[in-house]
Every structure is written in structure tokens, then in C-alpha cells.
Structure 1
Amino acid sequence: MTDAAASATRTALDAQVRVERAGGFVLDAAVSASPGETIAVLGPSGAGKSTLLGALAGLDRLSAGHVRIGDRLVSSPELRVPPARRGVALLGQDPLLFPHLSARDNVAFALRSRGVSRADARRRAEDWLSRVGLSGLGLRRPADLSGGQQQRAALARALAAAPQVVLLDEPLTGLDVETASEIRGVLRDQVRAVGATTIVVTHAAVDAAALADRVIVVEDGTVVQSGTVAEVLRAPATRFVAAVAGLDRVPGIVRAGAWRDETGMLQLAVPAVADGRASAVFRPGAVRLRPMGREDVRALAADGAAEREMAWTARIARVEPSPFGALVQTTAPDVAVEVDVEVLADRGLDVGGEVRLSVDASSIRLVPMSADGAPG
């Protein structure tokens, strides 16, 4: 095997981590990455995403498991190599720039810590600032930079240290939409340019799609789904992933040519689908909604199981603003419906009100599930 081939088959990061917190929370998750690969870690707040990064960075001690970077063991229950000595750079929501140093000297600090001379460190720092779009701003201190500019400088400092693994903990949170889009592009381009293996924690599908080769989803301290970005977003294993993907997901079961949800209220004829657990997946924009009276309830049984559509009644739980108008959240089962503002005004959709919902069969995709609820 050639050196190049051997390099391509190496694992840049191999981690099986268990971290036990006071209060009973346990993170038990595995992640591995090839050289130059970017993995997005998705999950709701409190799922354990930042704890996972802390374990990889050496900030949190393992209760069990290991972290290997390249061929080197850097964490185990008996070993914890300090963050500065494990070849890892961690960039979070707070840029954590030294306030008394200029942007150039902040970046040069990372180079000086690796033994680079002062003059060479400053020269290379200016080059890094140019690469992240801060050319000419090297003498400004952090207080004189915008939030987006500070994040660019922090990225330059992180990458200037030539880390083997880059850890990004929701670095775009708190930035406005336009600035976040710009920084997202800089992150993607510069991480790829240096060939760093990267783990990025995010809660946004756009970050995963723009930055990552693969996705792992962490909920309640465990990995509940993994795969390519397209695989995960197309076949969400949980309600959280469905929401991230902009989809409605209703778990159910196929039996004798019909799919029914877990409550038995929703049903759809699926004569060509094999029996087993499956989730009905569809877009909120595919759902038709109208208020209804009691006479409409009696009529639902006649057409709710037809092959052409799935129809049911629900109650409005909340109404949220959205770029297109409003997102109406309904319960039993939990389904989101897109409506424009004219519909919202004309129909007087109030919280607690009863509505009729329907979706064309052609807009519904059944995703087989394994016994634990993940896509089969």
C-alpha cells in the first residue's frame, strides 16, 4: 500500500465516550472520522452535544471509553492529555479573543505557542486574516470588530495552529442571518483548504448541509441516527430530526394493506407496502387545513382511509410566525401546518380550536422503522 493510500484509510478521530454528570445525565456516544472529513452533530438543547465536544477536546474526563486522535490515545478513564497538547482546536459561540491584543496578535499567539518566531508569526497571522476576509484589520482589537469579524479572527487563530481536529460548537449562533451565511462560507472553505477533520455541533439543517459530509444525531445522551446529510434529513428517525428537516413525522404501523398511526386516528391505504413499523413523512406545506363543525366529524370516517388522501381532526396547540405566514402546530398527533397570513386572518384559527387536516397520498412517504424507532 502506498503512503497516500495508507493515509486515506486512517481514522483521524476514533472516540467512544461515556461521561456521567451529577444529577443523573449520562452521555454514551461514539464518533469516528476520516482525515479531512466533516461530521455535523445535531440534537436538541441538553442532548449532550457540547459534552461530547468537551470530551473530545479534553475538557471533560471520561467515565469509560476512549478518544484517539490519529494513532494517539488522548483520553481514557485513566488518561487525559491537556487540550493544548492533543492537536485539537475548539471554537464556540464566544470567540474568546484576548481583549488586550490586536486581531493579528491574537492569531500570532497560536503560532508563537508552536515555536514560530515573532516576526514570522505576525507575517503568517496577516496571511490568515486575509484568508478569512479581515485583510487590513489586523491592528484592531476585538472591541473594535463586529461579532462576525471576531468570529473570523477566532477561526483564523484556530486554524493557524494547524490542529488535527477542529471542534466547532455552534459558532454561528447569535449572528444575524446575513453574517451567519458569510461565516458559514468562510468555515467551509478554510476547513476544507487545510484538510482538517472537523466536528461541528449545530441545530440547523443548513449548517449540516453546507458544512458536513455526515451527520450524527444525539438525543438524551445517545446517538439515535447517523448517515449522510441527505439520508438523515430525508428519513428522520425522531420528531426532532423531522423538525430540523422541515418535515412532519407521524410514527405508525402497516398491517394488511393499511397504515395507521399509533393512536389509530390516521389511516392510509397502502396495498403494496409490507407489514411493519413505519413513519408517515410529509411536508407541512402539503397539509390542507380548515376549521370544522360537528357535522364534519361524522363525515371523516367515510373518506379518511381512502387511497387518495389521509384525513383527520386535530386541535390547534399554538400558532407561530414564519417567513411565509404562520406555522400552525396541532396535537394528537403532533403535526405542523403551513398557512399564509390571509388564510390565518380569514379562518380565525385560535388555540384550542378544532380543525380538519388532510394530505394527498401522493405527498406522503412511508419510512420503515426498526424496533427502536430508527429508520429500518
Structure 2
Amino acid sequence: MADDVLITAAIDARQFDVDATLAAGRVTAIVGPNGSGKSTLVGLVSGELRPDRGSVSLGLRVLSDAAAHVPTHRRPIALLAQRPLLFPHLDVVDNVAFGVRSRGAGKTEARERALRELDAVGAAPLASRRARALSGGEAQRVALARALATDPAIVLLDEPLASLDVATAGAMRALLAERLPACGATVALVTHDPLDIWTLADDLVCLEAGRLVESGPIADVLARPRTGFLADLSGVNLLEGTADPHDPAANGVLVGDDRVLGLWEGPEDAVGGQHVMATFAPSAVALFRTPPAGSPRNTWGVRVVDVDPRGATVRVNLTVANGQRLSADLSAPGAAALSLAPGDQLHAQVKATQVFLYPRH
């Protein structure tokens, strides 16, 4: 049975101090901007790094703390990184059997286990080929087989699809989606790709500047992003403001001098002055050259930052009056009719029913 991985650890030189949990038997996506501490977290779990304070544990077993440190080769872990790192002088089956033999299995037993895992990842026909003769996608399949052949308690995936082309990455993603639940391990997936997150992960841990800023089930975290990074990752707009101190119950948030109306999602009524987040999809934003008429909606003055054609749609990146960013997705004909250019002053409009408001913790 899988165990939780508990990381309550600090490394002073890296300004890293995180309390996070990788849930037993689940895939946790580790995300954050460059330099946020993702590699440090993986290094602590793998044993390459040791905390100055705190501990790293697998269930009740302490892997690292101030008194003890289990070295990497004695931890029940497997790592799959961007590069397969196969032994070029060995054939495929011996590459996969290597880890099994290093755990004490005999040659015949290790070879049989390797062949079963190669078959599970669709690489059995490659068993007799030299590792140096494999394509990138083939080598990554073999590396996955090698990682899982030792029946690890923890699997660390460090951007395993980043070096693959789109078609190969898609096939490998489908394979991971099939094999990771079947292996029963506790999995950490470091990625920058939202598609990896939605298709492979159950939970999400977000780091920024060496601190944990959000964690929980994928759908919960990305439905209510609490940082700009998470908003970008989830593909929604996020504006930060405060509940109107004169009318907090009106489901409105003050963003600078603009008022944003929406649907309140908090567990309790808003309190005047409370820090509130407003999220809405780029597709919900309409843009106008002149102030729009019609039914009352959210309408704010915005400035065009840049225009990004995306085939049938155009992403228009904007700022509101107090400098916060938002995006609008328009049809290509609609964007052409507006003749948009950086620096243009426009009016953005969003229906209140398409805006969700919630407190920031």
C-alpha cells in the first residue's frame, strides 16, 4: 500500500521552506515559476539534498532529518527525467533489468521482470536492441519501464515529455496516464504544461520563491487560482481587489477605481475591506472602442498591451487602470474590425454572471 510523502523542510542557502504532502498513490503536479523551488523539492525527496531543518518522510519512515539521511540509492524511488539516461553499451532488456538486479534479484528473475515491464509499455519488440539505436520516444518508453520495474514507492517525473516532439509526447502522455495509476506508487510530476496537469495529475502543489502558495485537488486549485501564475496556468483572468467597505454584500470587488460585480463563491459573506479575487474566462470579455450601451454589466477602461493571433481566434492582452493584466479572446473578424494596436484605449465588458468572486486566504 502506498504512503504519503511528507516534506516539512528548509534549506537556507536556497531560501526554501516548504510544508507539503504528496498524497499516497496519487499523482501530484509540482508547478511554479522558474526558481520557485521545484527542483529543490524533488532533490529533497530523491535524497540528492538534505534539509537544514525539518524532515522528509515516507509514511512513518524518516528519509532525511537533522539526525539521519537515507542516501538516494537506498530510497524506494525511481526517477524519469527529460533525458532517458540509458546505458548505451547495454541492450534494452539489460537496461531495464539493471535496477531490478541492484535490488538483489537474480539474473533470470530480473530479466523476466524487465520483459514484463517492457511489454506493459509497448516496448517488448525493442528488447534486444542497443540503447544507442533507439529514437527519443523509444528511449523514453524504455526509461519508464526501467523506472517502474523496481516497483518503487515513489516515482519522480521531472518534465519527462519536454524533449519530445508533439506526436511522440502525446503517445508518451497516454502511456503515463495508463501506467502511473497501475503502478500504485506516490508520484510527483514536475511540469510546465497544463495538458500534463489535466491529463496525468490528481493534485497540485504550487511553489513560488521557495514557499508553498497553494495545494489541493487539480480542479479545486485551478478553478479558484490565487496567484497570477496559477491563473495563467488555468487559462483564466484574475483580478485582485477588496470587498467594498460600504456595501460588502453586493457581490462586488474594488479593483483600483473599478468595481467588478460577480457571483460570490466564499463560504461566508464578504467583509468590507477583505482581500477578494475575481476570475473570468478570456472568452467572456467583449471589447469596444466607445462605451457600450445596453444592460448593466461590468465595464472598465483598458489599454492594449499586445495582440496574439491564434488561428481562428485572437488573444488580446490588456491592462486595467491600476496595472493588473487581463486577456480577451476575440474571433479573428471581430479583432480585425477593431483594428487593434498596442497602446489603444478600449472598454472591456463582462457579464456579472461570468465572474466568480472568492476570498484570498
Same fold (TM over 0.5): yes
Q: Residues 268 and 310 of structure 1 are in contact (CA less than 8 Å); yes or no, is this contact kept in structure 2?
A: yes
Question: Given that residues 252 and 259 in structure 1 are in contact (C-alpha distance below 8 angstroms), is that contact kept between their aligned partners in structure 2?
Answer: no
Evaluate the alpha carbon distance shift between residue 51 and residue 307 of structure 1 in structure 2; reply closer, same or farther with a 3 A threshold: farther
The partner residue of 2:159 within 153, 162, 170 is 170
1:105 match:
94
Tell me the secondary structure at the aligned position of residue 366 of structure 1: strand
For residue 277 of structure 1, the aligned residue among 275, 281, 284 is: 275
**Counterpart in 2 of 1:17?**
9
SS in 2 for 1:217: strand
Q: CA deviation at 1:66?
A: 0.5
State the Cα distance separating 1:139 from its structure 2 match: 2.1
1:190-269 correspondence runs (5 A): 190-255=179-244, 256=247, 257=250, 259-268=252-261
What is the aligned partner in structure 1 of residue 301 from structure 2? 313
Q: Which residue of 2 aligns with 1:289?
A: 287
2:97 aligned counterpart, secondary structure: helix
Q: Alignment partner for residue 336 of structure 1, among 317, 327, 335?
A: 327
Pairwise CA RMSD: 2.4
User: 1:217-256: CA deviations, max 9, x gaps?
Assistant: 1111111111111110111111111111110010112220
Indicate how the Cα distance of structure 1 residues 117 and 11 shifts in structure 2: closer, same or farther if over 3 A, else same.
Answer: closer
Q: Does 1:354 align with 2:345?
A: yes
State the distance in 2 between where 1:32 and 1:219 align: 16
Which residue, 32, 36, 39 being the options, matches 1:47? Answer: 36
Q: Which structure 2 residue ranges, 5 or more long, are not aligned?
A: none
What is aligned with 1:93? 82
Distance between the aligned counterparts of 1:319 and 1:137, measured in 2? Answer: 47
In structure 2, how many angstroms separate the alpha carbons of the residues matched to 1:190 and 1:288?
43
Aligned-pair CA distance for 1:16: 0.7
Q: CA distance change for structure 1 residues 143 and 158 in 2, over 3 Å: closer, same or farther?
A: same
Separation in 2, partners of 1:259, 1:57: 46
Matched with 1:4 is none
Q: 1:27 aligns with which of 16, 40, 43?
A: 16
Instruction: Give the C-alpha shift of residue 326 in structure 1.
Output: 2.6
- C-alpha contact (below 8 Å) 2:29/2:204 kept by paired residues: yes
Q: What SS is found at the alignment partner of 1:59?
A: coil
Alpha carbons 1:250, 1:261 under 8 Å: kept: no
Contact 2:263 2:353 in 1 (8 A): no
1:14 counterpart SS class: strand
Q: What is the rounded CA distance, in whole Å, between the counterparts of 1:57 and 1:328 in structure 2?
A: 42
Structure 1 position 365 matched with structure 2 position 361? no
CA distance in 1, matches of 2:345, 2:10: 46
Contact 1:91/1:167 (<8 A) preserved: yes
- How far off its partner does 1:53 sit? 0.4
Give TM-score, length-normalised by structure 1: 0.86
Is 1:37 paired with 2:26? Answer: yes
Question: Which one of 138, 155, 160 corresponds to residue 144 of structure 2?
Answer: 155
Q: 3-state DSSP class of the match of 2:243?
A: strand
Q: What amino acid is aligned across from residue 279 of structure 2 in structure 1?
A: V
Partner of 1:79: helix, strand, or coil?
A: coil
CA displacement at 1:98 relative to structure 2:
1.4
The separation in 2 between residues aligned to 1:167 and 1:261, in whole angstroms, is 43
Distance 1:146 1:314, change over 3 A: same
Q: CA-to-partner distance for each residue in 1:256-310, whole Å, 9 max, x for gaps?
A: 02623432234337799633332111000110123x3xxx4xx58xx7xx98311
The AA in structure 2 aligned to 1:309 is R
- The amino acid that maps onto 2:300 is W
Q: State the one-letter code of the partner of 2:10.
A: R
Q: Which position in structure 2 is the counterpart of 1:374?
A: none
Q: 1:67 aligns with which of 56, 76, 90?
A: 56
Structure 1: where are the runs of 5+ without partners?
A: 1-6, 371-376
- The one-letter code of the counterpart of 2:345 is E
The one-letter code of the counterpart of 1:18 is A
Checking the alignment, whether the CA contact within 8 Å between 1:269 and 1:307 is kept in structure 2 is no
CA distance in structure 2 between the partners assigned to 1:230 and 1:67 by the alignment: 27
**Retained in 2: the 8 A contact 1:11–1:32?**
no
